[in-house]
Structure 1
């Protein structure tokens, strides 16, 4: 939809709106729990065995195949709900739009 990855989001960063989607038909896999979204713990390295401190490379994060499959599964279920919505074209545009505020606009005074 809008390229948003499957991840846990803090509630303080979410703005509640009157626009609703009935996602009661979406059944998430049982392995999508809080533990699934935690960062993996890094192993501590022995500093005495290291040679040059600047020669150490950071390991880049690589998305696992399981996460890719989970993303496709959840996206498919959510898109099915959006396509069944009576105002499908409105919902597609609404969910793709970026939220921004201008001068003298306050989210707590808006109704959307």
Structure 2
């Protein structure tokens, strides 16, 4: 949740996720119907094939989340935080989820037990 670790609501590939033995019951969480694959796709602007001017002169526009995404983030955060609060080790889970993950030179994630 954004409230705990400041990560926004987005779709993440399984290649970038490390599974742990800690389980949180999310069976009661009902997500809104509009949170689907189309919601998470990047919106691309259509460009003309031949544009006037220098192609390197354009500046990239910064991404700013819409009000819809902000409200969706709050809804999902509330549902997930409520599920975490029901867990018996809720205090430890909040600290665990807010901690940064990092490895040292002799540590390998596939050899660790979480």
Establish whether TM, by shorter chain, passes 0.5.
yes
- TM-superposed CA distance for 1:59, in Å, is 2.8
After superposition, the CA RMSD in angstroms is 1.5
- TM-superposed CA distance for 1:51, in Å, is 3.5
Q: Pick from 88, 91, 95 the counterpart of residue 90 of structure 2.
A: 88
Answering whether residue 13 of structure 2 is matched by residue 25 of structure 1, we say no
Structure 2 counterpart of 1:45: 48
After the TM superposition, which parts of structure 1 deviate over 6 Å for at least 4 consecutive aligned residues? none
Structure 1 counterpart of 2:10: 7
Q: Give the SS at the match of 2:69.
A: helix
Q: Give the SS at the match of 1:12.
A: helix
Query: Hey, what's the Cα distance between the residues in 2 that align with 1:44 and 1:16?
Result: 41
- TM-superposed CA distance for 1:46, in Å, is 5.0
Structure 1 counterpart of 2:62: 60
The C-alpha deviation readout for 1:31-61, integer Å capped at 9, x for no partner, is: 111111000121113524x244454333332
Structure 1 counterpart of 2:103: 101
Q: Where do 5+ consecutive residues of structure 1 fail to align?
A: none
Q: Where do 5+ consecutive residues of structure 2 fail to align?
A: none
Q: Pick from 105, 110, 113 the counterpart of residue 111 of structure 1.
A: 113
Q: Give the SS at the match of 1:21.
A: coil
Query: Hey, what's the Cα distance between the residues in 2 that align with 1:7 and 1:37?
Result: 6
Query: Hey, what's the Cα distance between the residues in 2 that align with 1:40 and 1:81?
Result: 32
Q: What TM-score do the two structures reach when normalised by structure 2?
A: 0.88
- TM-superposed CA distance for 1:25, in Å, is 1.0
